[in-house]
Structure formats: C-alpha cells, structure tokens
Structure 1
C-alpha cells in the first residue's frame, strides 16, 4: 500500500507505523502480551511464518520464535501479516511484477529492429477479418481492448505478452488474446544463502517498543547534519507516536538545523499543548534562519528552505514567542541571515508583524527594518529603531534608511583585495565558513608566502574545535588531493535533488608541505574527538569498508533498502546474473506515463559501445537482455521492467563500465506517480529459472521521487566486479528520452564521479572506523577480504595518530590469521565496524554493519553510517 495520499497536485506523506520504523532501523519485532494458555498450534504457526520469512531472506531469532509461538492464533495472524507486509514493502515484493514479456529473458527478441518493423506494419496494413499481414494466417487476427489494435495470435504469443504487442500498453486482463502464462521453470526450491539472511530480533512488548522508539528519536535528534529523506520519515513517525507530556526528556540543544526545525514545528503543532511546549521550542531556536525554517515546516514546506511555501497564519502567542527569540539576537547578524532569504523573510514579516510589537521587541524590529530598508523619519517607530541601534553594532541609522553592513560582503572584499589577514580575522568569527573557504585561503597565501601559510594554519588550528564534523571531513578530503592538479571539479549544489555539476578545474596545485600540514591539523582534530567516547579493549574493523564513503549531502539521498552512502563501491556478490528492476504505477495526476529502465555500455576509455534499452532489447546476444518496454502503468498492476546483465559475457564483448539509468520517456516527474521504485538483484539461477522477481535476491531497492525525470543510481565496473552507488539525478528537457541520446553526458558524469570518489577527495567510512577504533581501543583487529586478520596493539608511548597510521600497515603485533579470541579478553570485542554482521559479539557492543545479518538489536547497539560522523561532533 502506498504511504502517500495525492490531493490535487499536492502529495502528502502519512507517517509510517512505529513497528515499521523500528523493524527497518533495528530489525526488531515487538509483540503483544501472550495468551495465558499457549495455543497448541503456536509452534506450527511460527514455523509457517518463518518459512515465509526465509523466502524473503530473513530469519527469526530463537527468543522471537518462542514469543511468536506463545501468541494465540488471532494475534499470530495479525503480527505475521503486518510483518510480511513491511518486509515486502522494503524489498519491493508487495507489488506484482509482470514484465511485457512474461518468459523474459528467453523470449526477448534477438532483433529489436525487426520486432519494431512488425509492429509498424501491423498498425499500417492490418485490416479486420483479413489474413495476418505478417504471416498470412487466416482467422488469427483479433482486436485487443481497449486500444483496439489488430493483433495476430500466431505472430504474437498471448501466453508471453502481458500487454498489447503493438502499443505495449496494458490491456483488459480478461481479453481473449491474453492466455494463461506458462509456468517459469524451477530446478528446485532454494533459500537465500546464509550470508544474505538477516536476523529478526525480539524487541519485547509494547512498553519496550516505546522505550526503543525514544532511544531512536534521541539518536536522530543528535545527528549533526541534515537527515536523509528516510531518516526524516522515521523522525516524523517517531514524533507522531510520542506525546507532549514528557518534554523534559527532549535534549536542550539539537545540532542539526533542519532536524531542530521539524522538532520545534512538532512541539507547536498541537494547539492544546502550546503553553507547555512554547518555552521549550523557544529555547531551541538560536538563529534567525531557525525561525524561518520553523515557519516553513509549519506551512508544509521543506526545512532545508530549498522550496519555501506560502506561510500559514501564525497565532498571536507563537508570533510573540518567535519575535522574542529574534529580539535576543544581534540585529546585524539577524539581518545578514535574513538577507540570504530576503523574499521569504518579507513574506514572513506579513505573518509576524514585527513593527506592531516594536516597543516590546525593538531589536527584532530593527533587524526587519535593516532587511527591508525601512525609511526613517520623525515617527515613534523610527525613534524606537534609532534607540535600538545604539546598542547594535554594524547597523547604521544615520541616513534615511536603516542599513546593515554585510559580514559576507566584508569577507568578499578582503578576499578580492588579497587581504589574507583581514579575511582570516572575519572568518574566525564563523569557524565553519573559514573551513569551507579553506582552499581559497590556501591559494591566497601563494607558494612562497610562508608567513601567510603559517597565519592560515594557525587560524585553522584555533577554529577547528568548533566546526561540525561533516565540514571537517569534507575539507580534509578536498585538501589532501590538492597537491596535484585535477582535470575536473564535481559540485553537489544544494537542492531538492542530488544533482551534480562538472566543471574544468583550473586551480593550481597547492604546495605539498602546506597540504601535509593542513591534513595533519584536520586529522589530529578528528582523532581527538574520536577519543572522547568511552574506551574499549578490542575493536574489529573490516578492510572491505575502505570502499564505502562517509555520508555527505544526505538530505538528497534516496530512500533505500540498504543505506549506502553516495559514492561507495562494493564487490558485486557472486552470482551468474545481475538483474536491474523497475516498477511504477500511475496516479490520477500523472496520466499515462512511460518510465524506461536502461543500461549504457562503455569501454575502458569511456567510449559508448552500446546499450540495453527499449531501442535495443539485447546487447551481445545474452550479455544484456531487456524484458520489453511497457508504455503505461495503470493500477492495480502497474508496470515492471527488467535488465539482465551477465558480467562475463559483457567483459568478453569489450564492455568495461555499465551505467544504469531510469528515464521518464514523456517527462512526467517521478513524484507525480502513485509509486515508483527500482533496484538490483543478484540471480543465482540462469535464464528464466525461478520467479522474475525474487525477493531473496534483492541487494538494493530505492524509491524514485521528487520532480526528477532521470535517475542514475549505480555504475558497474565489469572488469573489477564492483558496483559504485552514485544515486544522482540527471537534468533532462523535452520528451522521448532514450539512453543513446544522452550517452556522452552519461559518460562524462559517470567518469568524473568515479574519478572523484576513487581519488580520496571524500573521506572513507573505513578511515572513520580506523580512527575511532584507534582512538578508543587498546587492540584493533583488521579483518581482510580474504578471511585473514591482522592484529594491532597500542604500544607504550604510542599516541593515537601513530597508532591509527599503523593500522593497515605490515607493522603488526600478532601473526596474520590470528583470531579475535586469541588477542582480547574472553568477552571478545565490544566495538566493531563490519561490512556484513557475521561476527559473534558480547552483549552491549557497538556495531556498524552495512548488512546487519546476524546482529541482534536486542543484544547490541546498531550504528548507522551517519552515527560514525555524529560521534565526531565537538563537545
């Protein structure tokens, strides 16, 4: 069932159920109180449910299985149906997946052009009650409903086609042309391999559920950066399930600005609770932009202020509270913040009426006057503003209007004049801005300006303790590659979608000693922060995490089954075939829509060598095969498309890179559809053995949303057998989109993103894991991809920097191949950073596992990738 309601042109999301949130975040299931007298059929019911779950790649932990068996039949049925529905929704198995060619891939035409010509000839020359123009068969031509195309049952197999063979649109399921499909061949029943099964844990009763929900809420509120759309959905669901009676449990500060706005908007959403919630909400706000974010969220808009809605009416008590907060701020600073969103603030003033309350909140009124350029005269308001300006620096009221001197303008002027000292003095007032402009400042020093370099480094040393971790990580990645010239720069501009901009990089390289010094400063600060967490005896780190990238620009990440940071590279799991899949369904607002799943092929030099798409249903025979182009997706069936990729055959055909793409052929935004998602399966069975959509083999599933018309989710390197998660959108205009038309642009995009992420310009998740393990543990065990292990122990007098630098080097402290149990206390490691959660850990351990597998949330604390960044927040 869709989690949205479409009203007119507005799509309103309903909060997810609490059980769904905790299942996805913790892999935990919560059950009602069991019956006093256990149901004798409980064991059988639990076994049947477990069998269904194994078919989806999940296992029941023994405590959960026992708790399920103790439920009565009615409760067991309700829990089982809800659990299977949530899992099917996460995997994409809650929808029927019927491709155009039901015997795909075996029945996919080998000659796409001949198939197209047959369809055209049928449209042009076929006549009712006449022999087929293609084969000459008599009495085989029938019209199909509702398109009325004349179709020959001998030329087009009604047991294979699921739609009209001519227009490739869905037809009446009862149409005589459609015959029962042939059963897909199956050699034997298989379960998912053990390394893919995820353990479902027993979370306890509903009281325990509420306690775990509170902990998850605290985790999200502690995040330092913008939340991903998936985390935002979870935050809203966790807040919706919470009462406003225990506001004392809320944190005094919320570091994430957008998260804070959503929390404050929730506090003020219930009119009956406003008297108690208002002081708490006001205490959380500390900048003018915070107020604007709250107004936007209250009005149904975006907390990131990418799209600012028309503001809703503000009740008088809230109006006074927001003005009182603005009144505590420096008017010049508030006016500068307001200038960034000038038009939005002018509209906000219509709701807040700052001049009406000027006597009570004069500094707030002064900030609005400076923003609007209010003319000053002899009236009472002007007198109030002049009085307020006496204690407000950088606001001039001596002229005909109030004027705020712009801090950013002063910085830009200093940089333009190459006044490094002046720029540093200003930028130290805003540490985050100094670090964001670090590259510009270092270029300003020049290669021979040692005094300038030293002053820039000293300023950096003074401000880094106050900078958000995401900003430090971004600066570290960018600076450490600046000792060599780069061909291109890749930008990820702030917006509602993950767009990229590629430009030539004309910047000269920075001196190697300067780069090394700055990298040392940033790394030392990150290691210092990592050491602020509780120490542990043993930590385990998987070397396979080196391919993962620390999260960045999460606010535009796709809602996905596996939360994989953008740019991450993973080995393709063993399997004969990779199967890309796409499903969508039309809504009343979208009309007829045609999404197209395509794969663009490139050689080692990024030359376009072909594609597998609706224009070319096969590439190199069996190397890439398309399931056929469905051109509409009416409910309830919708439409599904698939592309099978055989990496061995693709490599033999000279393909090095495969770029997966989804286009909206007729330019309908993904967000207008009732639903749209795509993903990747790893097929263990060749050809059409097994179901066309097998939930056990789903490795990734992600939503297609927003105003985007083209999505580039991933890149496959055929030679190295790796998959890189790109998760970016591509700007397109017009209609009739086809992958071959965009081949050059796709090559540039994929090539430059690959270069960016492979260059080290983004800090890796493996690096974060090593830093945190080195800062907290006395012994670090590094698990290699070949199954061997290297053990590193902190030596006498060895500082954290030296220890971290040694991890991964040949300078080990125990023979390679030693196990964890040989090196730590009997309790085993209590801190682990794993690719797959296949390690037995003691209760209470902290674990990051990209694929949790056997990790039980009832026993260990599961960490997300964003939590590794949050752990580096300044304290």
Structure 2
C-alpha cells in the first residue's frame, strides 16, 4: 500500500483522490456502497461528499482504493489481528479463580503425562506450569462459533472518513501541520515527519520545535541546501538524526562517518551560530560533542574557527560558562536581582524559573516587571505551560507528579513554599492578555461540549498515536453500561507474557480490589483468562459492569510479567470498548472500540487511563499515558497498587489547561466575519463548506505562536 496515502488516512481520516473528475464512470456507485458497508463493519463510514465522489469513479478504481483504505482503518482500530480469548465463552462462564486452578490440577492428575510432570516438580507446585495453562485451548473458529454477531446499536462508534484532495496536497498539508507544530511531537509522529519531509519540496515558513527542525534539516543536508539552525545544539541534533539517533538528545547517538561535503556543511552551520554567548550550551551535551568532533575533523577546516571553539569547550580547553550556571550561581548567593537581569535576554528561561524567583525574590514587583518584559518574546507553548503551572499553585496539592518524555512517572511530596495569591494573580492576568492577543480570528466558533475538557496538547512526546487518543490530563465521557479493556501483543523473539489487570478504588483512593489472572471475577468485573506466550499474538480482556460497580475508580493496567519490553515486542496495543448490557457479539468488536493506541516506552507497567464515576453517576475517562518502572519480571497489580493510586490521584487532581480555556478567550475576543471554525472530538458531516475543523489530531494547531 502507498505509505503516504496510508499516513493521510490514518492521521487525518481523509481519503486522498488523484482520479480526475472526467474518469470514465462504471459501476462506481455499487462499489462505493459496498465499500461503505465494509467500513461500517469496523466502525467507519464515508462522508456524503466522499461517497458521491466515489460513485462517479470506475468500479475497479473504487474497489482498489477501498481495499487499501479498509486495511488502514482496520489497523487503526486494532481489527487487523484475530483477538482470541482464553475462556471461549467470555464474558460468560468464566470460572472462579480457585475453581479454575482446581480444574487444571484435576486434569493434570488424571492425565498420565501430566501426573508425571507434577511429580517431577517436587514438593512445591508451580501452578503456572500446569498443562493447558496460559495457552489457547480452542481455535479462533471455535470462538466465532461460540458467539453471536454483534447487535448494532445507535451508540456504536461511527468515525467519518472525509473526502480529501489529491495526494500531493494532502501530504503537504499533513507535513506543514506536523512541521509547524508548536508542541513537541511523539516519536511516531517524528518518524512520520521524516517520511513526509523526504516527499515534499515545499516547507513551512516556521518550524518552532527544534526536534522537528532537525528532521527537516536531515533532508536539507542530503540535498545540499542551507541548514536551518540558530543554536549550536541544532547542529548536534541534526548530526544525531543523520546517524539514526535520537534528535531529542535524550540518549547518546553513535555518530556515523560523514562525507566530506556533509562535514563541511555541518561545520559551516556551526561556525555561523557559535558566538561566545552561545558556547555555554555546549556543556549540556559535552560528551556527545566530543564524539561528534571525532567524526567532523574540525582541524581540517581552518576557515571555520568558531566551529572549532565548540569542540574546545567540550574538551575543557576553552571556558564558556552557560547561562544556567551563572543564574544558579547568582541565586545561590542570594543575588536574585542579578539572576533576573541575566535572564532578561532569555524570555523563555526566565518564565520557566518564575516559580523559583517568586519564592526567593526579595522584590516581587521587580520580578513582575521582568515577566511583563519577557512575555512578548516567549513562545505560546511556554506561556500556556506557565499558565497551567501557576493555576495549580493557587491550590496546594498533596503531591507532585513527574513524567519524562517516555511517560515514565513518579511522585514526590510538594515541599515548595506557597506563593501568595497577590503575587500569582497579576502574572496570570498578564499571561491571559498576551495569549488572547496572539489567538487568531476564527470567525463563528462552534464547539462540541465533549471537547471542552480535553487538555491542550502542550507536549505529545508521551502520547502514542492511535484512534480516539487524547492528551494527558484530558477528560472524556464514557457512554454505555459495559466497559471492556483489551490488550494485544505479539512477541518478537522470546516468550513474552503481558498481563491485563484492573485496580478498583473507593472515592478516597483506598479499599483496593483488583481483577487479574490471580482474581478472575467479582460482582461487577470479569477477566478473560491469562495467556503466557504470544508467538502468533495474544489478547486479554477485562469487562466492568459500570451499572453495578461498587468502586468509583477503575484503573486498567498492563504488566510485563516476563519477556520483551513494549517497544521490543513485534506489536503491542491497548484499548477499550463500551457496550450496552444486552449487546451480544464477539469479545472484540471494532464498532464498539472507543480508543486504541500502541504501548511503548521502557517502563514495565503501563497506565493508559483511569475511569471515574462522578457524583451524578456518570462515568468519565481521565487520560494518563504513564509508565512505571516495575520489576524486571513478575509484575503484578497487587505489588504496585500504592504507586498507581498515588500517580492517578495526582493526575486527576491536577488542573490541566483545557480547550475550554482557549475557547473562552476566543469568544471574549470576538471575531466577526470569516469562515466558521469547528472544534470537537470528531467532525460532523453537515458542516458548512469552508469550515476550519480542529479535532484531536489537529488540536496542536490551536496553540498560538
């Protein structure tokens, strides 16, 4: 399948069409209806415009295109694999845990080979080694025969595929959206950006995120075009990306050998930005600069003397104190005014240190004056991040939660001294005024109420792309009486055992109960059975009856019990479905899938999201995108329930900056005239022509520059 076409369909839910309008028609209307029916079986449908356009094409063209589109959306929703269940009748007839183990033991003792294996284990019995445990005992065909077809309901998910333009314009639009994002991208989106950059001749006028700029610079370097750099670290990121390394510089790169023309281009770019004021940045990545110097041979290019200074700083032959070091020195000596003065030429750095300055500064008015001067020169993302931080300082929290770019999370008590409201509110006012000033005029504004509590995507690094995925801290409604989690994985080389579990807590995050391979059922939840090896792929499910749940907090988790990490497995993804109580069907029905995303990261325990019941009885999902370190092996829900509950509580109680914040500013600002702007979880089919649409996949475009 065409990779670029796949990216457009998966990322934009738009179907690009390169076929001219004057193509010889055939039986396209019949083929279009057949395609729409096939799409509906996995929860997708063609928009009226797309259906009408397909109907005017030759039938063979529609079938060929439809085959590719259907394969893409099936993978997007997780329907490209067969989801078997250990217990063939799941969710019915799942035995109680003790009954299940007793049945396996009885079978083993009645079987001569099994009885001999039991005797060989000695006095200690390993229940996991019982014959038949952890392996499918029936085929997928048996599972199909045991379940009726899905009973369709009006509440089933239907995702609309829109009519796109020609492939070139759709690829260009996606490329410009990702390259021009104000927020850092997920690793998967950076890979998409790299593919798109190699296919598009044009470039956006502005590429604000440095990791994105490094990816674009890879293409420019290969083509011999001038590089887009304004700091020495930009060159280091580019060299890392060209070597197959991490452009975020989170992990050291193994630099490849560069061709002479590449070395000259890199050193020339470095020479142009290596001013004395910027040499201090070298210290942050000293060792990587040393390794890069061994590949670039700066001594062979005497006409780039300032580039050579970079490597002298890395080796310690030249002193270049960085801004951070000088600011820390001033703060440690109690010279806050000097620190503020030093930060005056670095607006972003000053705003990132504002909390510290407000707590330690002897003159709050002086700090506020510095903020007023810095705000116009800072990026919109920095302003929004600071706004979110300060509104959480107004209300003291029980603890602080930290998460790195890979989603690895931890908590700590909040020992920071409080900041007076009188100091915080003026800063918040300045930020609101500046953010509102930068927002564009969006004409008539139409907002889906369900989108108002979606957190602004200030960083996408920890968010794995998928279907229905929202930024960390978002709230989204959960409709339906039955909630079903699922995890699917396929091992690459070694036996891999993932365990789907769910932790249930009361309103105070106590009284824990769980569902897992050690506890199959309770009054409102059921586990589908434990699979301990997945050479051909394996799936586990958990059902939660929301109408009968005795705990208002449900936290699904995926534990690596043994084997490969999430990012080492051939495939690993998590998701959830919702159904009504009387709705039958297979354990996995794509039309009922509300969310599906890949699992990744170096953590051994995944916490994708939490589900909470409000005082009015309605359920909502809180998006976490967190990973815990866990143990090398044998992770279980019973062992991490305290850590998980603390993390979830910290995320739930944190006041994330939502879409509602920007829409309130937009409405207060007013913008008569112009096209309609729609913001929602998905675009309705009846929007006026020319409407600008912002959905979760394009929310980052709302972040002001």
Asked if TM exceeds 0.5, the reply is yes
1:363/1:469 CA distance change after superposition, 3 Å: same
Structure with greater Cα Rg: 1
Distance of 2:271 and 2:149 partners within structure 1: 74
Identify the match of residue 651 of structure 2 among 728, 732, 753: 753
Q: Which has the higher contact order (CA 8 A, sep 6+)?
A: 2
Contiguous gaps of at least 5 residues in structure 2: 120-128
Structure 1 residue 580 displacement after superposition = 0.4
Aligned to 1:7: none
Identify the match of residue 94 of structure 1 among 71, 76, 80: 80
1:192/1:318 CA distance change after superposition, 3 Å: farther
Identify the match of residue 627 of structure 1 among 528, 531, 534: 528
1:556 counterpart SS class: coil
How many correspondences in the alignment? 693
Structure 1 residue 187 displacement after superposition = 7.6
Distance of 2:240 and 2:390 partners within structure 1: 35
1:59/1:740 CA distance change after superposition, 3 Å: same
Give the TM-score normalised by the residue count of structure 1: 0.75
Aligned to 1:865: 699
Contact 1:170 1:634 in 2 (8 A): no
Structure 1 residue 692 displacement after superposition = 1.4
Matched, 1:373 2:331: no
Matched, 1:38 2:4: no
Matched, 1:262 2:220: no
Give the TM-score normalised by the residue count of structure 2: 0.92
Aligned to 2:112: 128
Contact 2:30 2:59 in 1 (8 A): no
CA deviations on 1:35-90 (whole Å, 9 max, x unpaired) are 85432x43322221111111222222333223333443433332121111001000
Distance of 2:629 and 2:154 partners within structure 1: 38
Contact 2:469 2:597 in 1 (8 A): no
Structure 1 residue 179 displacement after superposition = 8.8
1:224/1:179 CA distance change after superposition, 3 Å: closer
Structure 1 residue 534 displacement after superposition = 3.9
Distance of 1:478 and 1:539 partners within structure 2: 27
Matched, 1:552 2:552: no
CA deviations on 1:675-734 (whole Å, 9 max, x unpaired) are 1111010113547x2121111111000101233321000111134411111111111123
1:59 counterpart SS class: strand
Distance of 1:404 and 1:36 partners within structure 2: 66
Aligned to 1:347: 291
Aligned-residue Cα RMSD (Å) equals: 2.7
1:187/1:663 CA distance change after superposition, 3 Å: closer
Structure 1 residue 836 displacement after superposition = 4.5
Map residues 236-635 of structure 1 onto 2, 5 A cutoff.
Answer: 236-242=194-200, 246=201, 249-269=202-222, 273-274=223-224, 277=225, 279=226, 281=227, 284-357=228-301, 359-374=302-317, 402-445=318-361, 449=362, 452-493=363-404, 495=405, 497-530=406-439, 533-534=440-441, 536=443, 538-573=444-479, 575-588=480-493, 591-620=494-523, 623-635=524-536
Distance of 2:118 and 2:243 partners within structure 1: 47
Distance of 1:63 and 1:252 partners within structure 2: 32
1:777 counterpart SS class: coil
Of residues 45-54 and 73-82 in structure 1, the stretch that sits farther from structure 2 once superposed is 73-82
Matched, 1:641 2:551: no
1:327/1:571 CA distance change after superposition, 3 Å: same
Aligned to 2:125: none
Aligned to 2:553: 657
Identify the match of residue 135 of structure 2 among 147, 158, 169: 169
Contact 1:551 1:565 in 2 (8 A): yes
CA deviations on 1:378-415 (whole Å, 9 max, x unpaired) are xxxxxxxxxxxxxxxxxxxxxxxx32233222100111
Aligned to 1:676: 572
Aligned to 2:45: 59
Distance of 2:61 and 2:508 partners within structure 1: 59
Contact 1:192 1:696 in 2 (8 A): no
CA deviations on 1:550-582 (whole Å, 9 max, x unpaired) are 113311211221230111111112x12011011
1:661 counterpart SS class: strand
Contact 1:484 1:510 in 2 (8 A): no
Contact 2:497 2:532 in 1 (8 A): yes
1:647/1:609 CA distance change after superposition, 3 Å: same
1:100/1:165 CA distance change after superposition, 3 Å: farther
